Structure 1
């Protein structure tokens, strides 16, 4: 594990992703101050890992070398960054803000510009790998920002990174995450159709996957989700509600840059069907439930 001994960090947002990520930093030797809007999660994290908590993002950000965030959406990110109690108000010049939230490139560029006015570095660093990747310290991290800021961020996030790459200036990490979600949406729908087709054809789903996963059809989704899909079990993983939020960002960006996303738009509608079935908190692989009705 990468050694962060003596490093002073703050982590904002202790959900299913942020909590494990902050834990990896603590185990790597960093001194971590945490903040979460829901105090119960803060208390649980401190009870498990030690270290300290702060009542506001500003207080968490004081006297640290870098602040990391993993919150919910654009508005959540603005709220922990800006205003008298926001992290930026507590950060000193020359420190670094690393954002792991999946948000729009627009808010990223807005906040990066505000950080620059304050003499603060900013790296957008959304992640892929889900809760399991966060817990195992095996996340793919897509980054945007100045090269010097990225170099510092790459070292800080090493305890939970499987791979970390800079894709360009501020906002490039978010655009890369959009591409990631676009690819996943098509893969999950394709896998759902294949497994539903196999069921109707009377095939053994597990035997089928054992064969086709070794060929060109193989994917992470097939390897990690086929079993629970066949069992009709979706009480785990990345929630449909969050996927719809992400796909909405993708579709907005597609319209802005003139990129055609017909499959993404269709799968977004299918996820709307799953929400209407009461599956907003189900895993994204629950697309197959639409095909079993």
Structure 2
């Protein structure tokens, strides 16, 4: 990196905390905001030169780039447009980069408001999980005007394995929806395959070790089979988060006319997992639903 910037990061959850850390280690001057002050204080203690601010607006003052990674549409609207929100405090021509998985509708709304205020805005949802955030190896799907994206891409490279402009505002969120739709179907199929193997008396581990070399191979098969068979789900991407994402996908499908029968069915299966007490289990816990006695 040849240029350091004043940056703000809003939201220090399991993804935002390590992402902000990569920005600090890359030499950027980082100010953080988090609803839980102790989390922000911990970040400042771990990263020399970092600062924390009591509101999103205070964090955004003087920043060249303002990043966010919060929970949902309401949270995102609050940190941007709400009282003490970032947009009113941002300098002209500063760029807002949102890594929240949110609706494409809100992404377009924020982009239009940013243009009105002489700001740039990028909807930039991420894939790669907590490990990807910690290792600086996230995939970032972006929706923005090309000139805005070009300015921000080198800064996002601090924690990206792949970063691409997918189209105008909203396109990043739509791409993330495609990602989540694909994952939901894959996990259900893998769960059924493992359940079938066990029910047939096969050594499921041995079956997967063989078929992962063929056309059935997937990231889920490579990274989740062992824990699924062990009944270990206290890790990874939580069921409640996937249900939030699938709700966004299904709402968008109702708007654009897409048919998502498998995604809708898997969402119902996840509701059953939640009823089993698995709200915070990893999404691979669809297998537990099939294996329950």
Whether contact under 8 Å (1:4, 1:156) holds in the other structure is no
1:119 aligns with 2:122: no
1:35 to 8, 33, 36: 33
Q: Tell me the CA shift for residue 4 of structure 1.
A: 6.2
Structure 1 residue 41 displacement after superposition: 1.3
Q: How does 1:141-156 map to 2 (within 5 A)?
A: 141-156=140-155
Residue of structure 2 in register with 1:26 after alignment: 24
CA distance in 2, matches of 1:84, 1:268: 34
Counterparts of 1:237 and 1:24, CA distance in 2 = 21
Q: Distance in 1 between matches of 2:4 and 2:90?
A: 18
Alpha-carbon distance in 2 for matches of 1:133, 1:90: 31
TM-score, structure 2 length as denominator? 0.98
Give the whole-Å Cα distance in 2 for the aligned partners of 1:238 and 1:46: 26
1:160 paired residue number: 159
Indicate the SS of the match to 1:142: strand
Where does residue 10 of structure 1 map in the other structure? Answer: 8
Q: Work out whether 1:215 is the aligned partner of 2:214.
A: yes
**2:235: which partner in 1?**
236
TM-score (norm 1): 0.98
User: In 2, distance between residues paired with 1:197 and 1:262?
Assistant: 22
How far apart are the structure 2 equivalents of 1:289 and 1:133? Answer: 25
Partner of 1:128: 127
- 2:22 and 2:4 mapped to 1: Cα distance? 14
Q: Note the residue ranges of structure 1 that are not aligned, 5 or more in a row.
A: none
- Secondary structure (helix, strand or coil) at the match of 1:202 reads coil
- 2: CA distance, partners of 1:139 / 1:183: 17
Partner of 1:70: 69
What's the offset of the Cα at 1:84? Answer: 3.6
Please list every run of 5 or more consecutive structure 2 residues that lacks an aligned counterpart in the other structure: none
Aligned to 2:43: 45
**Following the alignment from structure 2 to structure 1, what is the Cα–Cα distance between the partners of residues 22 and 3?**
12
Q: Is the counterpart of residue 287 in structure 1 residue 286 in structure 2?
A: yes
Determine the C-alpha separation between the residues in 1 that align with 2:4 and 2:175: 32
CA distance in 1, matches of 2:107, 2:232: 35
CA distance in 1, matches of 2:204, 2:37: 44
Q: Which residue of 2 aligns with 1:80?
A: 79
Separation (CA, whole Å) in 2 of partners of 1:63 and 1:4: 20
Task: Report the RMSD for the aligned CA atoms in angstroms.
Answer: 0.9
CA distance in 1, matches of 2:71, 2:2: 26
Q: Alpha-carbon deviation of 1:5? A: 5.1
**8 A Cα contact 1:11 1:33, kept in partner:** yes
Is the 1:240–1:282 contact (alpha carbons within 8 Å) kept by the matching residues of 2? yes
2:38 and 2:201 mapped to 1: Cα distance? Answer: 48
- Please report how far the alpha carbon of residue 7 of structure 1 lies from its aligned counterpart in structure 2 after TM superposition: 1.2
How many equivalent residue pairs? 291
Alignment correspondent of 1:249: 248
Tell me how far 1:46 sits from its aligned partner: 1.6
